[in-house]
Amino acid sequence: MNLLFKNATIIDKHSQYNNETVDIKVENGIISKIGANLAEESHLEVIELPNLHVSRGWFDSSVSFGEPGYENRETIANGLNTAALSGFTDVAIQPTGHPVADTQADIHFLKGKATGHATRVHPIGALTKGSEGADMAELFDMKNAGAVAFGDYNKSLSDANLLKIALQYVQDFNGLLIAFAQDSKIKGKGIVHEGEVSTKLGLKGIPALAEELQIVRNLFLLEYTGGKMHIPTVSTAKSVQLVREAKAKGLNVTCSVSVHHLFLTDEELTGFDANYKVMPPLRPESERKALLEGVIDGTIDLVTSDHNPMDIENKKLEFDLAKDGTIGLESAFGALNTLLPLETVIEKLTAGKELFSVEDHVIAEGKPASFTLFNPNEDYTFGKEHILSKSKNSAFLGKKLKGKVYGIGSNGKIILKE
């Protein structure tokens, strides 16, 4: 990768060039020079893009691809290309394939399939065998194979003692547990947030209590065992407050929120469009505002697209029969950039690297070129033409977004939209 980026505004609070507009020379995948009006050289490909901004490469802590087993939803190859063109140099892949990634062989498979791609894969190993919640999976072996964390995607562990043992066990190798929070008994047969909208539509509701009660239990376990826990995709004001209080007590707990919970509310459900059927469910405006406040004040550590492709056979159904999930990589930046200051957006899209022990590089001379290229000022309406995933189940179709991603420079490669 031998490139010269002209007139690039650097957004990187860790870089001495933060907020400066400069040229960036990359030779053999390394940033060799940063400065104004750098000379064009024959061995360098010159890249000039409108209102070009450059930040450290973005990381998504929750991405699902179909492969292995559900390639009709998404393949790893196309998924990683989608991630690259959406600005993500690194993604943590959830154990949602068939078979579930619960052994070191499964982790090796995922890492191997990602070889040669610009976007790097960081597998999340299942916490329990088959993500069935009964027996602990091969956590240490998966860690040695490259797993960055352990959790059962969108499944809350009902066995409190198993979670306690897992929290104690992973401390021997500094493992990170992901504890999705939803009490299955309180959730029952609910499919949307329990409230005014669910009542009007006649849909079975899930009380916010289902999430909050489980978070309380999990935090009590963490306080007892020690170790570190990540609570993904919190969705209520009370959940944010519980994490805020736990951090104040000194517990090693972090949390994330999905882009769609920051951007959308349960009012979207009035058309019975299954693209808005997600888990946790979309909440009312008051909860959405509390989540935004949690992002701004730092209680919520990172933001995820919670990208979850679903084929048309599982989405174009009666609402209560459709599977949960929305794709989100393609729309993540544009949605966040309409809601939050640019510096906050970049911080929340890069903060997960430290938490998940993913290599990160400041934009500086002598460092590997691992960055995202974007224009933060372009307004557009998100449409089907913007979807790069094999599955098209986006909750952002028709939404007005702000900010265009050009691509990434990462892993010795440059990936740009045509």
What are the angstrom distances between the C-alpha of 34 and each of 5, 13, 24, 145, 375? 10, 16, 5, 37, 20
Which of helix, strand or coil describes residue 416?
strand
∠ CA 349-149-132, nearest 5°, is 120
Distance from C-alpha of 277 to C-alpha of 275, rounded to nearest angstrom: 5
- Residue written as tokens 């449409």? 383
Contact 164, 136 (CB under 8 A): no
The predicted pLDDT at position 418 comes to 78
∠ CA 346-348-353, nearest 5°, is 100
pTM, two decimals, is 0.96
pLDDT string in tens for the chain (418-residue length): 899 999 999 999 999 999 999 999 999 999 999 999 999 999 999 999 999 999 999 999 999 999 999 999 999 999 999 999 999 999 999 999 999 999 999 999 999 999 999 999 999 999 999 999 999 999 999 999 999 999 999 999 999 999 999 999 999 999 999 999 999 999 999 999 999 999 999 999 999 999 999 999 999 999 999 999 999 999 999 999 999 999 999 999 999 999 999 999 999 999 999 999 999 999 999 999 999 999 999 999 999 999 999 999 999 999 999 999 999 999 999 999 999 999 999 999 999 999 999 999 999 999 999 999 999 999 999 999 999 999 999 999 999 999 999 999 999 999 999 7
- Residue written as tokens 């209680």? 299
The listed CATH number (2.40.110.10, 1.20.210.10, 3.20.20.140, 2.60.40.10) that belongs to domain 57-355: 3.20.20.140
Could you tell me what percentage of the chain is helix, strand and coil, using 3-state DSSP and rounding each to the nearest 5?
A: 35, 25, 45
Query: What residue type is assigned to position 51 of the chain?
Result: N
Q: In sequence order, what are the beta bridge partners of 59?
A: 90
Q: Containing H/E element for 304? A: strand 302-304
Distance from C-alpha of 166 to C-alpha of 151, rounded to nearest angstrom: 10
Contact 408, 415 (CB under 8 A): yes
> What residue ranges do the domains of the chain occupy?
3-53+364-416, 57-355
Distance from C-alpha of 116 to C-alpha of 261, rounded to nearest angstrom: 33
Under CATH, what is the fold of the domain 3-53+364-416?
Urease, subunit C; domain 1 (2.30.40)
Which of helix, strand or coil describes residue 318?
coil
Contact 138, 103 (CB under 8 A): yes
The predicted pLDDT at position 387 comes to 98
Distance from C-alpha of 176 to C-alpha of 184, rounded to nearest angstrom: 23
Active site residues: 306
Which residues have C-beta within 8 Å of that of residue 229, sequence separation ≥ 6?
Answer: 167, 176, 177, 178, 179, 218, 219, 222, 251, 252, 253, 254
Which of helix, strand or coil describes residue 88?
strand
Q: In sequence order, what are the beta bridge partners of 31?
A: 26
